[in-house]
Amino acid sequence: MNVRPFERADTARLVEVLAAVFGEYGMRFDPDGFDRDVKDVPGRYAPPRGVFFTVEDEGELVGFGGADLPRDEIAEIHRLYIDPRARGRGIGALLCQTIEQWARERAQVIELWSDVRFFHAHELYSRRGYRIFGQRMLQDPDRSIELGFSRAAAGERPLRPSTLALEAAPLAGLATFEERQRAGMIAAAIMDSRTLVRAGRMEKGGHVVPSPLELFSGAREEEVSVLRALGTVTCGFERRGERVLHPLFRRQAPTV
């Protein structure tokens, strides 16, 4: 297995891998619009403030990932994707290690943002010392929700505690589109959006975000509360004391 700098000739394969991953999760991939950076990696991640790597395994391009320096003392990881057929070979960890080494010489903190549905990737980040610090909604075709992760560049000691106190907010009180979208995306992550896609939850080429009420048979909106961590990160739901959490939070053993 070999990690090397990205070459422009790798672009077609990068697009192919991202299309496969997005399709697996029922997400819309827009390489000519919102995701257009993937068609100009040498320009978007040019040194000295950027870097991008390709992983080759037995002559096949199977992984990609890069980083840049958006602010002083901050390095941000971008576009870390593995061919679904190549998972389980340690490619993600190898890419993280390579990018972190680059970042260590240039920044104090490493950050990344990842769609809430990619909880298998989140497990990798958690093992490498990353901790959740925020959540945001993108202006992409799916209005995706992402979790923000960070860690110290110099080592794997977490910047934040691994246990997160949870706050409950009534689902019926979610007034804005962004709040409802956050809740729906977390529901998709809990229920495994790939299963939903295979079950035909597609409409007009995009993933239909499920209602949180689907988690609770026979529930009414006023009976369900959204569980939040740090006051901003939606991480699960509760009905009559029954709590259903995003897989990452289950592993972090949140305190109440």
Q: 107-157, pLDDT tens digit by residue? A: 999 999 999 999 889 999 999 999 888 999 999 988 999 999 999 998 755
Handedness of CA 34, 118, 21, 155 (dihedral sign): positive
43-58, pLDDT tens digit by residue? Answer: 999 999 999 999 999 9
Show the 3-state SS of the chain: CEEEECCHHHHHHHHHHHHHHHHHCCCCCCCCCCCHHHHCHHHHCCCCCEEEEEEEECCEEEEEEEEEEEECCEEEEEEEEECHHHCCCCHHHHHHHHHHHHHHCCCCEEEEEEECCCHHHHHHHHHCCCEEEEEEECCCCCCCEEEEEEEECCCCCCCCCCCCCEEEEEHHHCCCHHHHHHHHHHHHHHHCHHHHHHCCCEECCEECCCCHHHHCCCCCHHHEEEEEECCCEEEEEEECCEEEECHHHHHCCCCC
Determine the pLDDT at residue 256: 47
70-93, pLDDT tens digit by residue? Answer: 999 999 999 999 999 999 999 999
Strand order in the sheet with 166-170: 166-170, 224-229, 233-239, 242-245
Question: Residue 218: which pLDDT band, with cuts at 50, 70 and 90?
Answer: confident
Most confident of 3-12, 119-128, 208-217: 3-12
> Which range has the worst mean pLDDT, 10-24, 118-132, 183-197?
183-197
Determine the pLDDT at residue 29: 93
pLDDT at 204 over 80: no
Question: Residue 63: which pLDDT band, with cuts at 50, 70 and 90?
Answer: very high
Using CA atoms, how far apart are residues 83 and 212, in angstroms rounded to an integer? 30
Residue 26, CA distances (Å) to 12, 93, 132, 207, 215 in order: 21, 25, 24, 5, 19
**Mean pLDDT, rounded, of the chain:** 89
Q: Are 154 and 182 in contact (CB under 8 A)?
A: no
pLDDT at 255 over 60: no
pLDDT at 195 over 90: no
147 compared with 232, residue with greater pLDDT:
147
Q: How confident is the model over 171-181, as a mean pLDDT?
A: 90
Determine the pLDDT at residue 219: 86
CATH of domain 2-152: 3.40.630.30
Q: How confident is the model over 161-180, as a mean pLDDT?
A: 83
Percent of the residues in the chain that have a pLDDT greater than 90, as a whole number: 59
Q: How confident is the model over 159-181, as a mean pLDDT?
A: 81
> Which range has the worst mean pLDDT, 99-103, 170-174, 231-235?
231-235
167 compared with 5, residue with greater pLDDT:
5
Determine the pLDDT at residue 163: 61
pTM above 0.85, yes or no: yes
The residue ranges of every structural domain in the chain are: 2-152, 166-251
